[in-house]
Amino acid sequence: MQTLSVPSPRVAVRASWDTQQRLSYNPNAPRKPPKNPNTTSKPKTLPTVTLSVATTRSEPSVLDLLKRPSSVEEIVERDEYYMGYERWLPSPPKVQKPRSAFNAASLAYIGDCIYELYARRHFLFPPLNIEEYNDRVTAVVRCEAQDALLQKLLSENYLSEEERDVLRWGKNIGSAKTRTKRRAGAAVYNRASSLETLVGYLYLTNVKRLEEIMLKLGFTTDSSMQLILEEAKSKQDSG
């Protein structure tokens, strides 16, 4: 028996090796958002540093901030009544002896409010934006400004002996170390508190004397200074 031999086909095997390392595929990994072809990456630039020389500017004193034109006091005639109202301040509670009913801290508490009311009212005219209002009022109500105004009253011997006694009483207010007290110092802080105590005391006992003192310090106490001036000017022009 003859056997036929069938030649086996030749199979060529080609192999290739990837020399770059590939990470294994993770189906749970978050996908990167597609890049926007319209946006071009800008080269990072180092921030520019501008050297500026600090210049010292002298701030106006509290007395300069409260100054009004000299013609104001000459034109305006003060009256206890304006537009049918006796006073512009809210009526104080009736207290016979405030020093017996309240301590110095309580009077300084209400005095701080009344003092700031005078300051806000003083800067109401001419009309300003809120930021400028706040800047001017803050410059007057800070304890350093209150201390300067108190020194003005004491140096001119404007206060009575009773009022000086209230100042000494309010100067001894005990308070914790606040940020304002650390900034201005204990002595300045205590003197400012004594002025607030005097304002609160006079608000409860003698509003007329309070307005005299605030006018002496430079605060305007008329209901509307600008309207009164315009009315007085119009009368002068018509006459």
Gap between the Cα atoms of 45 and 156, Å rounded: 63
Distance CA 219, CA 212 (A): 10
Catalytic residue among 64, 79, 112, 135: 112
DSSP string, 192-235: HHHHHHHHHHHHHH-HHHHHHHHHHHT---SS-HHHHHHHHHHH
Spatial separation of the C-alpha atoms in residues 62 and 67, rounded to whole Å: 9
Q: Which residues pair with 85 in a beta bridge?
A: 82
Q: What is the dihedral of CA 87, 93, 99, 101, to 10 degrees?
A: 180
Q: Is position 64 annotated as part of the catalytic site?
A: no
Instruction: Write the CA distances from 62 to 112, 141, 144, integer angstroms.
Output: 17, 9, 9
d(CA 160, CA 94): 22
C-alpha 42/C-alpha 20 separation (Å) is: 30
Q: Point out the residues that are catalytic.
A: 112
